[in-house]
Chains A and B, each alone.
Chain A
Amino acid sequence: MSAPAPATGCRDVPVLAERGQHEVFCGLTGIIWLHRKIQDAFFLVVGSRTCAHLLQSAAGVMIFAEPRFGTAILEETDLAGLADAQEELEREVDRLLSRRPDIRQLFLVGSCPSEVIKLDLSRAAERLSARHAPKVRVLNYSGSGIETTFTEGEDACLAAMAPALPDTDRRQLIMVGALPDVVEDQALDLLSKLGIEDVAVLPARHADSGLAVGPNTVFALTQPFLGGTLAALERRGARHIPAPFPFGEQGTTAWLAAVAREFGVDQAHFDAVTAAPRARATRAVAQAAEGLRDKSVFFFPDSQLEIPLARFLTRECGMRAIEVGAPYIHRGVVGPELDLLAEGPLLAEGQDVERQLDRCRAARPDLTVCGLGLANPLEAEGLATKWAVELVFTPVHFYEQAGDLAGLFSRPLRRRAALRLEAAE
């Protein structure tokens, strides 16, 4: 059905585990895309001025939109115990909800300071839920930097939604992961053409979507960072369909095939449905990947997308991976990806940024995938970089975006080739 797996994959390769300075975002950052995705939700961070500043800086650099997020900034009186934090929070939430009657779901998001002072947000969420039911549902999760790295914030958010979903005995598929609407629609269309009609999405765009879960539910992850959500859905009796992730032609085909097998779609029908988009994706990738062939790539840890993307770049774009760093490697989730990634690159988990920079400088990769804090300094040292965060914000999943995904990696190299800033000889 898809290209054969390498003789030796990376599933059993030893991993370099590092513990030093982590140059990564915390889980609060996920709010930037989650609040656009869940259109009737408000994300209220209970934290410090730093949290507010992070969200604003992340949003300011990345997007600007009417915010449906804010920070309840803890003050000296909250910390000294002079003010009852629960009452303070209730007051702020009352004010917020009266000003924003369009809000149907409220997420109380824990932060480093709220975790350290052990503010009980689950109790607050229960009390507030009782107070504002049935119009507004209040949930809580932690996006703190001491517990979550970047995309793990989305995982924590979706995992918090799972226990609150209504029960169902329906035989259905849930597609799990926040994708841009256009990509989500493409995926649903493909599934429907395969004959899989009862498909829901977590997170749903609205609170009243009717999303439910139960023992006859199966689910497939579209993002590799959703290990906590996987466990939470399993606790509700749903069953996970392990698969590679839908990046590139091969990843998308493998993902769809895993779902199709589960629903007993016959091979001929599968081929008929996927043939045209597969061919389009292959052509688009080949075009965009011109210039990537035989080039080397080095991944700094960022979003947990690193392993699937390394698989895509090495198998479909002809690149050679030197190091694949991930903030966290969840083998239950990325196992099928590791099987497909040929042995060779160093796999690193966690980070000691200074040492990793030393390795990167020594290896002089043709392309370095890293966070925003490192990109310009590395460019200034003569290394071509790709900001990792763009991979999370750009539609890159499934067939029709496969060419765009390859393009994200080839553009920095094309740009370097296009610029002529030296004097003519």
Chain B
Amino acid sequence: MKLSVWTYEGPPHVGALRVATAMKGLHYVLHAPQGDTYADLLFTMIERRNHRPPVTYTTFQARDLGADTAQLFKTACLAAYERFQPQAMIVGASCTAELIQDDPGGMAETMGLPVPVIPLELPSYQRKENFGADETLFQLVRALSRPIDRSAHVTCNLIGPTALGFRHRDDITELTALLGDMGIGVNVCAPYGATPQDLTRLGAAHFNVLMYPETGEAACRWMERELGQPYTRTVPIGVGATRDFLGEVAALTGRSVALDESRLRLPWYSASVDSTYLTGKRVFIFGDGTHVACAARIARDEMGFEVAGLGCYNREQARMIRGLARDYGVEALITEDYLEVESRIAELAPEMILGTQMERHIGKRLGIPCAVISAPVHVQDFPARYSPQMGIEGANVIFDTWVHPLVMGLEEHLLTMFREDFEFHDDAGASHHGGAATPRAPDPAPAEAPETGAEVIWLDEAERELRKVPFFVRGKARRNTETYASERGLTRIGLDTLYDAKAHYAR
């Protein structure tokens, strides 16, 4: 047993639901108790889908357990086929149905339905949502695709985008255009928008683009082995990664790289003087492994931030993330316990968090700005406007998204200049965010017991001076000073220590 307050991933059948909901012409019969239907609202509310997910839940109750839940499953399965007439069906059990061991796959097989019925074995008590999506797509591809002639023109499949994915909808559009510029067509995009019949044509593509390893890697590996299709390893999020990705595509297809950079703004925006204030901002990065790895590269190489720490919640990517952390000289945090993430962030005191909706709440509590880079998603991660993460426009979107939570460039300089001003002081917050400006509180009387760091004591005068440092760098100043003091065996921090430390860390 493990106590969990918030979770980063749902159970594996929710992953299967994400695949089914992304597709057309597929129906999922899920052996599950009533209540598990809550999953529908993830799609209809968070993603604002205008159709019900193509799922029939058997919704058994306690009184059915003594009777015949197996018959209930068969009835639901048949009714679903007759009503929806899908091209193919997937069947499986949720966590509770797994315990009653009715074997939905075996039962469905004996029913002789006139369409392919693909059983899913998703161990609810061991695995999680991403595995469920990855495994479901893999089983669908394995059951439905077969070797066929390659298309006359060079085409690829886009593999991995699902319903309820972080910006998957717009990444597909961006990638399709990016590949189109190189004269490469998209054969099938799966699961997003594909039908089971489309999956039978997967073999026509010359190669696969693995968009999201979390949800598409097993399928890509299988197609590499069985259909002879190589797949791309670079996820094109960020300017450098997009260039590398196109290089990889060029190597796979023998075509030359073509990238229309006329709309690419991140490099100039980052180089322009207004962005000087971004230099060396300490960021903490947390999310799914793929998005974290991409974000780390952008943060360091394209925004000029300092990566203060990073980690991921999906253990499948733990090795990759540990390797990455070594490259960045930080310790990786691999956990699905959000309390651990919170305490790591508190300890590192970064100036910004790049995380999930969960870290956004942590940031709110700790007073640290946060931009969202990864699932799990919330309704605001499905904006009305076009806002991909991948490719050229993705890089532009990321620049805006990451800068927005911060105080604006010139404003930061003014706050530093007028730090004692009665109106233009840092408690007023950033001018482009909501919330009423709070008048500056009168300087509080020094606390009885001076605040203590790990082992060092802040003297009154230093504590007062620290309060004059603008809020967005105060955490860093406190931390640097304490580190400086403890490295020198000082137990008390005075005004001199504060400024000695400032001089020491000056860049």
Contact = CB atoms under 8 A, between A and B. Distances in A.
Contact of B125 (A25, A58, A74, A85): A74
Interface in A115-142: 115-117
Interface in B120-134: 123-126, 128
A208 interface: no
Interface stretch (A89-97, A191-199, A241-249, A410-418): A89-97
What are the nearest 3 A-B pairs in CB distance?
A26-B35, A145-B35, A373-B40
Interface in B1-38: 1-7, 9-11, 13-14, 33-38
A67 B3 CA distance: 13
A26 B37 CA distance: 9
A67 B5 contact: yes
B346 to A, nearest CB: 16
B94 interface: yes
Interface stretch (A48-56, A219-227, A253-261, A332-340): A48-56
A67 B338 CA distance: 13
B125 A112 contact: no
19 contacts: A20-B59, A21-B58, A22-B34, A22-B37, A44-B3, A52-B4, A53-B14, A56-B6, A64-B361, A72-B4, A95-B3, A112-B95, A113-B99, A146-B33, A146-B65, A147-B61, A354-B83, A373-B40, A374-B52
A91 B125 CA distance: 20
A112 B5 contact: no
B38 to A, nearest CB: 5
Contacts of B36: 26, 50, 54, 145
Contacts of A74: 1, 125
A71 B13 CA distance: 18
Interface string B336-378: 0000000000000000000001000100000000000000001
Contact of B45 (A20, A76, A95, A372): A372
A5 interface: no
B404 to A, nearest CB: 21
B85 interface: no
A75 B5 contact: no
A185 interface: no
B1 A85 contact: yes
A230 interface: no
A380 B50 contact: yes
A309 to B, nearest CB: 21
A376 B79 contact: no
Interface residues of A, number: 62
A167 interface: no
A49 to B, nearest CB: 4
A380 B64 CA distance: 35
Interface of B: 1-7, 9-11, 13-14, 33-42, 44-46, 48-52, 56-62, 64-65, 76, 79, 83, 94-96, 99-100, 123-126, 128, 357, 361, 378-379
Interface of A: 20-29, 44, 46, 48-50, 52-54, 56-58, 60-61, 64, 67, 70-76, 78-79, 83, 85, 88-89, 91-92, 95-96, 112-113, 115-117, 144-147, 149, 354, 371-377, 379-380
A116 B124 contact: no
Contacts of B94: 50
A23 B95 CA distance: 18
B125 A75 contact: yes
Nearest to A27: B35
Contacts of A75: 1-2, 125-126
Contact of A25 (B9, B38, B361): B38
B49 A73 contact: no
**Chain A, interface SS category:** helix
Given A50-B36, A74-B1, A74-B125, A372 B11 contact: no
A300 to B, nearest CB: 12
A376 B48 contact: yes
Nearest to B41: A372
B50 A50 contact: no
Counting chain B CB atoms within 10 Å of each CB, the highest count among A21, A72, A83 belongs to A21
A25 B59 CA distance: 11
Contacts of B51: 377, 380
A144 B125 contact: no
B76 to A, nearest CB: 7
Contacts of B62: 115, 144, 146-147
Nearest to B38: A54
Given A76-B125, A354-B83, A116 B4 contact: no
Contact of B7 (A52, A79, A147): A52
B52 A377 contact: yes
Nearest to A354: B83
A48 B1 contact: no
Contacts of A48: 11, 95-96, 124-125
A262 B375 CA distance: 56
A70 B3 contact: yes
B3 A96 contact: yes
Given A115-B62, A377-B52, A73 B34 contact: no
A146 B95 contact: no
A49 B35 contact: no
Contacts of A374: 40, 44, 52
Given A116-B100, A380-B51, A70 B7 contact: no
